[in-house]
Amino acid sequence: MRLFSRNRLPAAGTDYSGPPAASMRGRAADLADAGAVPWGVLWEALKVPAPADDDDSLVAELGLAMEDWRGPANDRGGERMFGVRGEHQVEIRVGRTERGLNQQGVQCTWVRARTPEFSVTAADGVLGADEPAVAAIVDGYAPSRAWDGSELRGGPEGIVARRPITMRGQQAGWAYDLWLCERIARALGTPLAHAEVGAVAMPYEMG
């Protein structure tokens, strides 16, 4: 019998007793486990020091712009958030998948940093990796609903996270995925040259 089940997983930050959100602004690299902090703390930590003054969208606080997005091969799409955070170009898409006949809504996060090939999957809120260096990063994270449904792939085209949009899932789970992708990128990645990727399919068939 599993010690944790999806219905019993703790919400992110249920037992958090760390610094208040305001004191964590721009300190994403200082978080040891994003799944163990409340949403407000994570959001503050992901903020950049100087967001664009002429962009009043919420994601501008993260150094990202937002626009509508449509898949290159069909009319499926949704919203696209994109920009450069630190050394890494970031592309996030929230909407309908491009994969086969699957019509499910997904959140996809792409951090453009070359890494060893790896995969990470979540089972009952616990992340597991098939590559030792990545496993060393994620193995200590506490079980959390923050990772529910999330999967990552890494390799020469960068790190991509994907999770379904569900009624019970984290509706802005891409923020947790962004934190994790960037953490792996800082530890193991080499930034890729910035490129126009708005009309490019997500790598590794993760779109």
Which range, of 2-6, 58-62, 145-149, averages the lowest pLDDT? 2-6
Looking from the CA of 139 toward its CB, the CA atoms found within 13 Å total: 8
The pLDDT tens digits of the residues spanning 68-124 come to 877 655 556 688 999 999 999 999 999 876 555 556 788 999 999 999 999 999 999
Total domain count, the chain: 1
pLDDT of 2 reads 36
Q: Is residue 105 part of a domain?
A: yes
Q: Is residue 5 part of a domain?
A: no
Q: Is 54 exposed, middle or buried (0-12, 13-18, 19+ CB in 10 A)?
A: exposed
Within-domain flag for 143:
yes
Residue 43 lies in a domain: yes
CA 178 centroid distance within chain: 3
Q: What is the pLDDT of residues 135-167, one digit of tens each?
A: 999 999 999 999 989 999 999 999 999 998 875
pLDDT in tens, 36-53: 999 999 999 999 987 666
pTM: 0.90
Residue type, 103: Q
The boundaries of the domain holding residue 175 are 21-194
Rounded to an integer, what distance in angstroms lies between the CA atom of residue 126 and that of residue 141?
7
Report H helices in 35-107.
39-46
- Report yes or no on 205 lying in a domain: no
Q: Would 206 be classed as within a structural domain?
A: no
pLDDT value at 169 more than 70? no
Asked if the structure places residue 9 within a domain, the reply is: no
Is residue 16 included in any domain, yes or no?
Answer: no
Find tokens 């930590």 and name the residue.
45
